[in-house]
């Protein structure tokens, strides 16, 4: 068990900066992988999802870049069964390519990452920073650290800040719910029925792009528990924790249906969770309705 790390040190801060800059520097190669590696890979990831060649290529690119950083001790991703270790102090967990089912129709995709003080599987409150990249018409990056959320445009791997205090707008506008109405529980369905009369539907099949809509316009995103799948679809360590850290740092709320997703302490690296994120009152209402 690594001795607990004084994560306020400038060394830890420098490592977080190096991870963020390393991910930004890798984005041109990931965009090339999206263009050149469009086929299936005939393999599945540890949660049983088919892997595209681009999923594997992005995973390789990030592992190489991030394990090269002095302060990074381990690299974990949804594409690989085990954590890869080297010396260092901080731990990076990634969804190298989020929304890869959007690759064929060339719709939005992204990368999600979290920087933890402890080796995964670990609780979300051990996050020191988290962020995502959106491979859209332009490449943008959102990074949450020390209670603030910054947005960057990334060109040729270099980032420049466009907003240094991203906050969830008070008046919500959009919603996006995964899973499909026939698979929802009755409680979630009645919540969704209320919301769809209040907000505009924005669901694109990649949580990174859908949550970026919530950060931009206010609202709520969910991949809820399903009748057939009470644990939902999304992964705690690679999607739930990082996105919860970002949305909560931007003044919103996260929930697994009962509490902040950051309180979820997974036993296994590839555990799934129901996920609800967005304006605090919309998440409060969700928790009240599925109680």
Which x/- pattern over 267-286 shows residues binding ligand AHG (rule: CB under 6 A)? --------------------
1: number of Cβ within 10 Å: 5
Q: Which residues bind Mn ion (CB under 5 A)?
A: 95, 97-98
Q: Contacting ligand AHG (CB under 6 A), which of 54, 73, 134, 206?
A: 206
Residues between 79 and 118 with contacts to ligand AHG, criterion CB under 6 A: 95, 98-101
Angle at 46 between CA 44 and CA 52, to 5 degrees: 35
> Coil, strand, or helix at residue 75?
strand
Q: Which is nearer to Mn ion, 63 or 98 (CB)?
A: 98
Q: Which is nearer to ligand AHG, 57 or 233 (CB)?
A: 233
Shortest Å, Cβ 27 to ligand AHG:
16
Q: Which is nearer to ligand AHG, 93 or 207 (CB)?
A: 207
Residues between 59 and 78 with contacts to ligand AHG, criterion CB under 6 A: none
| Helix or strand (DSSP H, E) at 129 | strand 127-135
Given a contact cutoff of 8 angstroms between Cβ atoms, the answer to whether 275 and 242 are in contact is no
| C-alpha to C-alpha distance for 44 and 31, rounded to whole angstroms | 22
Q: Which is nearer to Mn ion, 100 or 279 (CB)?
A: 100
Given a contact cutoff of 8 angstroms between Cβ atoms, the answer to whether 108 and 114 are in contact is no
Per-residue tokens: 147: 């209670």
Shortest Å, Cβ 53 to ligand AHG:
14
């Amino acid at each position: 068990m690594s001795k607990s790390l004084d994560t306020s040190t400038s060394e830890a801060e420098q490592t977080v900066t190096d991870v963020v800059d390393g991910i930004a520097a890798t984005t041109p190669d990931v965009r090339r992988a999206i263009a050149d590696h469009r086929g299936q890979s005939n393999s599945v990831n540890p949660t049983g999802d088919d892997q595209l060649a681009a999923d594997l290529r992005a995973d390789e690119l990030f592992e190489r870049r991030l394990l090269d950083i002095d302060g990074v001790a381990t690299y974990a991703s949804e594409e690989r069964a085990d954590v890869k270790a080297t010396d260092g102090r901080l731990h990076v967990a990634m969804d190298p390519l989020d929304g890869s089912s959007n690759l064929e129709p060339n719709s939005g995709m992204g990368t999600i990452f979290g920087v933890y003080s402890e080796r995964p599987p670990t609780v979300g409150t051990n996050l020191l920073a988290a962020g995502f990249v959106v491979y859209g018409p332009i490449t943008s990056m959102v990074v949450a650290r020390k209670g603030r959320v910054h947005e960057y445009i990334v060109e040729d791997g270099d980032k420049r800040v466009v907003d240094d205090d991203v906050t969830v707008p008070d008046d919500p506008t959009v919603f996006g719910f995964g899973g499909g109405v026939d698979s929802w529980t009755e409680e979630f369905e009645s919540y969704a029925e209320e919301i769809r009369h209040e907000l505009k539907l924005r669901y694109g099949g990649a949580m990174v792009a859908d949550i970026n809509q919530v950060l931009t316009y206010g609202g709520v995103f969910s991949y809820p528990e399903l009748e057939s799948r009470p644990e939902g679809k999304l992964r705690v360590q690679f999607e739930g924790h990082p996105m919860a850290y970002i949305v909560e740092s931007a003044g919103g709320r996260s929930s697994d249906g009962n509490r902040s997703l950051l309180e979820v302490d997974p036993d296994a690296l590839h555990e799934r969770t129901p996920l609800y994120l967005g304006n605090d009152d919309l998440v409060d209402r969700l928790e009240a309705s599925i109680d």
